[in-house]
Amino acid sequence: MNGKEFRVMVVDLASGKGRLEVLPGRDLVIGGSGLAALLYRQYGKPDLSWDDPQQPLIFAIGPLTGLFPLMSKTVCSFKSNYHGEYTESHAGGRSALALAFAGFDALVLVGRAPRLSSLLVASRSLELREVSFLKGLDCDAAGKLLRTTYPGGSGHRSILRIGPAGELGSAMACITVDTYRHFGRMGGGAAMGAKNLKAIVIHGDSALDLPEGKAYARLYQELYGKVTSTEMMRKYHNLGTAANLQALNDISSLPWNNLQRTSDAAIATISGERFADAALLRNGACGGCPVGCIHIGFFREKMADNRYHFHQVAYDYEPIFAVGTMLGVTDVFDVLRIIEAVEKVGLDVMSAGVALAWATEASERGLISDRETLTPLRFGDAAAYRQAAWQLGSGASPFYRLLGQGTLRAAAQYGGADFACVLGQEMAGYATGELFFAAQTLGFRHSHLDTGAYGYDQKNSQRDVDRAVDFLIDDEPGRALLTSMVACLFARAVYDNETLARCLEAVGHGELAATLPETAERIRRLRWLVRASTGFAPQNFSIPKRFFTVSTWKGAVDAGYLDAIKEEYGRRIVALIAAGANEWR
């Protein structure tokens, strides 16, 4: 771990045997996103189906993981069943430090376990264990049993697991990490389920050697001071990202009721302040991050008389948008109840909420009925959405099984594609304007974090296609660099290139520090090249009509401008892929 070469544990789940591979390439791809793409090139089967046992499920960290504050994320990559192409999903929790302190830069899982299994990975242990007793269990119950099944190591291990949605192969299935974090998007849970793998326990039971001298410790202290003693990160541990609710509603960019509107007076009952005042129980942190951005809320349920039980649920802006405003649910405790239901069944909350919003409007329009949804869906009916969440994740009807493959798949059969809020995948909560709509549609992960498009939309009202697309193209490499280290993207204001270079030098990677801009570009192109090898083309993705009807602070969406941005951005991505092919031939 953390040497000039990558230490990669490759596990064949069919046999339960692993082998330690020592691979070159640190100077080319750094780690994290770059390493994951490199490993897919080595172990992936671009031409085979997403669920072919040979397909790898990859977890990768970077050279700064665990060595500096907020270097606390893991990159998971796989061939997605959502779009049949290569993708990444990122999560924190304790996964990154556990993998680092187990002594590995990456974990690559190939093959398919004969029976439902769990995998233990530690510095001196590798064990595949049959866990048929966990079949069908929700993520919460599975987590509790896994802690019993694997005694010891509390606090120094990460427990990744899937719920029924992952076992079923839903394209919205997530991998839950340490209860409150998730590899959420693009069906990572299905990729794990296809391998008959219910859980992965990573025990960070070893240690990294540190460089001699005091320079490293001094730099750590300097950065620690920046992230804890300045205003730089206050947003994230104060109200958290939930603060975005009011801000986006104020500029008519918050999706309500399946994006039928972008602002609503009901925001007062569901703002970040309201969540903090009424339902915030405590904060939590990923391992190695002193910011503590995880906001854990609570709700309680009354059984009878004065007998209650209480539940703890993590919240953020995105889940609140998806199962709150998008579904017309405006009570903070109801939002938490729905989030919990979605997470227990093992679905990504953003995807599930947006899918159920479409299903609700489709119900209103008579395209589907209770026969499909089983539970009548109406905007604002929180109890119905709690039931529907479980039905969607567990595939309780043919309709829900189809919807779980993606909203547009369901719309293709039942109609309603025009109002499906899908931008490459179910939309993130930023109805900020044309650039974001095009950027998420064609973004590498179809994530709002691929580029800063939603920020650009909020600051720029002019309609200059080249300038807007230049922004996307210029913004991406820096993010690819951070996700190769692997930093939390909340820390992007702290870790500029100069700081990253100092960090790399301090831990013995001076050779990487000298070439960051070129390496960032190389990683960006490699990621796109790998995705292209699995079938990506810009024309695979279109923007539903609903997005052309949106009004933001800039006024009505300009259809011509949106189309032009998407076309130009697609053209530029194709050029990146061609350059990557030339570079990695």
Partner 1 sequence: MCGNARLSRRKSFAKGPPHYLPGRGSATTTIDIMKQLSTPRLDQCIGCHSCALACARLVHKKGSWHCAGIRIRSAGGLSTGFTASRCLSCDPPPCAAVCPTGALTPRRGGGVVVRKGSCIRCGACVAACPVDGIATDHFGDIYICIHCGLCVPFCPQNCLEMVDGDAAGEVR
User: Which residues are near partner 1 by CB under 8 A?
Assistant: 66-67, 69, 97, 100-101, 123-124, 143-144, 147, 154-156, 178-180, 204-210, 216-217, 220, 224-225, 228-229, 234, 237, 282-292, 294, 312
Closest CA to 86 of 573, 530, 577: 530
Query: Which letter does DSSP use for residue 83 in this model?
Result: T
If the CB atoms of residues 60 and 186 are measured against partner 1, the closer one turns out to be 60
Strand-pair partners of 552: 555
Give 237 or 531: the residue with its C-beta nearer to partner 1: 237
State how far the Cα of 460 lies from the Cα of 426, in Å rounded to an integer. Answer: 25
- Minimal distance in Å, beta carbon 233 to partner 1? 10
Residue 391's alpha-carbon distances to 204, 325, 381, 489, in angstroms, are 36, 21, 15, 33
- Beta carbon of residue 274, minimum distance to partner 1 (angstroms, whole number): 21
Name which of 212 and 305 has its Cβ closer to partner 1.
Answer: 212
Q: Is 85:536 a contact under the CB 8 Å cutoff?
A: yes
Q: How far is the CB of 205 from partner 1 (least distance, A)?
A: 6
Cβ atoms of 453 and 33 closer than 8 Å: no
Indicate the residue among 1 and 162 with the shorter CB distance to partner 1.
1
Cβ distance to partner 1 smaller for residue 72 or 458: 72
113-117 long-range CB contacts below 8 Å, 24 or more apart?
Answer: 113/13, 113/14, 113/16, 113/195, 113/196, 113/197, 114/14, 114/196, 115/196, 116/167, 116/196, 116/197, 116/198, 117/13, 117/16, 117/196, 117/197, 117/198
Strands 197-203 and 117-122, bridge-based pairing? parallel
Q: Indicate the residue among 286 and 439 with the shorter CB distance to partner 1.
A: 286
Question: How far apart are the C-alpha atoms of 285 and 41, rounded to whole Å?
Answer: 33
**Preceding amide of 323 cis, omega within 30:** no
Give me 383's structure tokens: 């109890």
The smaller minimum CB distance to partner 1, of residues 32 and 288, is found at 288
The C-alpha atoms of residue 376 and residue 373 are separated, in whole angstroms, by: 6
CB of 507 to partner 1, least distance (A): 9
Give the shortest CB-379-to-partner 1 separation in angstroms: 31
Min. distance of Cβ 95 from partner 1 in angstroms? 13
- Min. distance of Cβ 301 from partner 1 in angstroms? 15
